Amino acid sequence: MIKRTNPLIAELTTNMLLAINIGNTNISLGLFQGRHLFKRYSVPTKTQGHYAYLRKIISRYKIKEAVICSVVPSACKVIKRDLTKLLYRKPYIIGKDIKVPIKNLYRNPEKLGQDRLVNAYVGAMLYGAPLVIVDFGTAITFDIVSRRKEYLGGMILPGLGISLEVLAEKTALLPKIKLQRPHEFIGRDTKNSILSGVIYGFACLTDGLIAEIKNKIGKIATVIGTGGNIDLIRRYCRQITNIDKDLTLKGLNLIYINRDVSIFSLEQLNRK
């Protein structure tokens, strides 16, 4: 009896792209076949043994190329070296080897985190513009895209976890607690008072900022929530209407697919 291979499985394990988003807390990895996100992984950024983890993934799937977006230069250097050994070719680095094809109106464009620019680009491509993207990661970032799909700028705030850590470090009596949902709005013990203040406080702050941003760029602006803590806070934010946890990975894949956009063309775009 001839054993037939499922053509879908065969296709999904051929010429796959490994997209890697290196954040301050976690590294997200996505396996793409064309536009399809096939697998998603996450590991702590500070974990040792990334080489063995990458080797396991690459040996299981027929990965030919990789693309990296990073806000941690030291981790990016190590993972770039590891991937070069495993793939026998250098991975693409966003901002160096591939430019994000969006007009960047930041006062100093080179100072903008590439992950924020990736989110702005893919958000506008997938959801339209004007657009507000709120990323609940180690830091909380707001990124604003005009109706002309230009990156306008944004805001940066301390993240939920950082806020809890600072309260414990900078006060004598407040304890260090784990980030989780509060059991009550009006806290009746120290733990729930802190959790309520952080979760409800940042939710109200988020809704307020989004309302003000919409006054600037248009009431019809789409709002996307993403980042590692979006599942925790999404139920408390009334202004966030779309959730896309894989936004950055999707952006890396889309930029890779459209990587033939030349630097010259991008420079022309930014001069307009």
Determine contact, residues 114/95, Cβ cutoff 8 Å: yes
Which residues are catalytic, by number? Answer: 115
Q: How far from the centroid of its chain's Cα atoms is residue 111's Cα?
A: 17
What end-to-end distance do the CA atoms of the chain give, in Å? 64
The letter for the amino acid at 64 is K
Instruction: State the Cα–Cα distance between residues 90 and 98, nearest whole angstrom.
Output: 13
Map tokens 């990016």 to a residue.
Answer: 76
Could you say which DSSP state residue 236 is in? G
Instruction: State the Cα–Cα distance between residues 218 and 222, nearest whole angstrom.
Output: 10
User: Tokens at residue 137, please?
Assistant: 């990661």
- The total number of residues shown for the chain amounts to 272
Determine contact, residues 176/63, Cβ cutoff 8 Å: no
